[in-house]
Structure 1
Amino acid sequence: MSHDNAIVFVVDDDISIRESLELLIRDAGWQPEIFESAQEFLSRPRVFVPSCLILDVRLPGLNGLELQKRVAVDRPDMPIIFITGHGDVPMSVQAMKAGAVEFLTKPFSDTTLLSAIKEAIDRSDAELGLEAEMQSLRDRYVLLSSREREVMALVVRGLLNKQVAFELGISEITVKAHRGQVMRKMNATSLADLVNIAARLNAAR
């Protein structure tokens, strides 16, 4: 997949770092967006294209590790690459445990950074794909009538049509009709597929 529309955000309070990274990112074919502080970055609305964040650990105000916690909640599809002039082992361990793609100590090579950006953009792209898929499932589930939802819940538990009919106090023919509608609306190709869809919807709640 082309990542021409991917955005690489940079948050660093050193203007020379910001400017050099901006040039490097643009030359590599991505769109750079540069910020001086965590607060300035947070005022930028979330984007729904593949993206990543290059983040200095030590920032005035909200520091990099604190911003990482905010991003994990508000922008879960945005992987983070940390850069620092004075990192220590506990700090890097904390950042990596919280999901950072890379923790680079300045000076680092352009190749190393570009490789980390590519990995982060790929990860973001995959996350956005899963998110879109889940939203599609939710949108389809909303189209089910309350009776169709009841039938779906019992069917995925493994009940036969006649058992579902008994549970709901309706005829087996009616159950079959509702079951057919559920399969069609949820775009399920088999019972196993429907069970998988139901599990994903429950996990996302």
Structure 2
Amino acid sequence: MRNQSVKQVTIHLIEDDASQRDSIESLLNFKGYMTKPYSKAKDFLKNANLERPAIVISDIRLPDISGVELHQALIEKDINIPIIFISGEATIQQSIDAMKQGAIEFLVKPFDIDELINAVTKAIRIELKEINLNVLLKNLSPRELEVFNLLLQGLNNQELIDKLHLSLPTVKQYKSEVMRKLKVNSLSKLIELAR
């Protein structure tokens, strides 16, 4: 049985080929996912109600802007949403550019149904983890958030003392509060949570 939170993730599907779009949308709907289809990237950017959690599946070659340009537009709007690219005739360079920008997967048509579902599952897992982290980070004070970011950079206690101009007991207290509020019990778990 599918996790209820997974069903609440909206999949924004951007594909200019109507038959391909209908086929992918039908498959995703059959699997219990909620989809919003678009034929152009600009329609998605203009009309998308980007309530999270959400993921994007986009053709790399669209009539208005490319999938990579769409992804760049989302990044520029500070919308860090998992994206899966699909393409019928992708160049190696397009694949490389897409993955460098942080695409979750790059599927070449005709792709296997299981490949698509696996990519969607992976993207949803990443999206739900990101949303969970953002919720937890809202519990941190500005100073705790600063400590969190410094811990992610790998600073040890002495470096934290030097950077924040605090005593060792105070640094340890902040670290302890960050861990407690983020519900982790080790630095490795903290890094894993933020990854």
TM-score (norm. length: structure 2) = 0.72
Q: Determine which of 40, 48, 51 is the counterpart of 1:47.
A: 51
Whole-angstrom distance in 2 between the partners of 1:23 and 1:56: 17
**What 5-or-longer segments of structure 2 have no aligned partner?**
145-160, 182-189, 191-195
- Corresponding residue for residue 89 of structure 2: 86
Shift in Å at residue 75 of structure 1?
A: 5.6
Q: How many residues align?
A: 161
Shift in Å at residue 159 of structure 1?
A: 2.9
**Matched residues, percent identical?**
30
| Aligned ranges 1:9-158 → 2 under 5 Å | 9-43=12-46, 44-49=48-53, 51-74=54-77, 76-138=79-141, 157-158=165-166
Shift in Å at residue 70 of structure 1?
A: 1.5
Is 2:84–2:103's contact at 8 Å kept on the other side of the alignment?
yes
Shift in Å at residue 192 of structure 1?
A: 2.8
- Corresponding residue for residue 175 of structure 2: 192
Shift in Å at residue 115 of structure 1?
A: 0.4
- Secondary structure of the structure 1 residue equivalent to 2:85: strand
- Secondary structure of the structure 2 residue equivalent to 1:69: helix
1:147-166 CA distance string (max 9 Å, x none) = xxxxxx99x633389xxxxx
Shift in Å at residue 106 of structure 1?
A: 0.6
- Corresponding residue for residue 151 of structure 2: none
Whole-angstrom distance in 2 between the partners of 1:195 and 1:22: 42
Shift in Å at residue 48 of structure 1?
A: 2.0
Whole-angstrom distance in 2 between the partners of 1:23 and 1:139: 45
Is 2:9–2:52's contact at 8 Å kept on the other side of the alignment?
no
- Secondary structure of the structure 2 residue equivalent to 1:48: coil
Shift in Å at residue 33 of structure 1?
A: 0.6
**What 5-or-longer segments of structure 1 have no aligned partner?**
142-152, 162-178, 180-188, 201-205
Shift in Å at residue 92 of structure 1?
A: 0.3
Whole-angstrom distance in 1 between the partners of 2:178 and 2:112: 48
| Aligned ranges 1:157-196 → 2 under 5 Å | 157-159=165-167, 190-194=173-177
TM-score (norm. length: structure 1) = 0.68
Residues 25/37 of structure 1: CA separation in 2 closer, same or farther (3 Å cut): same
- Secondary structure of the structure 2 residue equivalent to 1:81: strand
1:4-54 CA distance string (max 9 Å, x none) = 2111110011100110111111111110110011111012122122x2111
RMSD (Å) for aligned C-alpha atoms: 3.0
Letter in 2 for 1:190: Q
Whole-angstrom distance in 2 between the partners of 1:160 and 1:122: 37
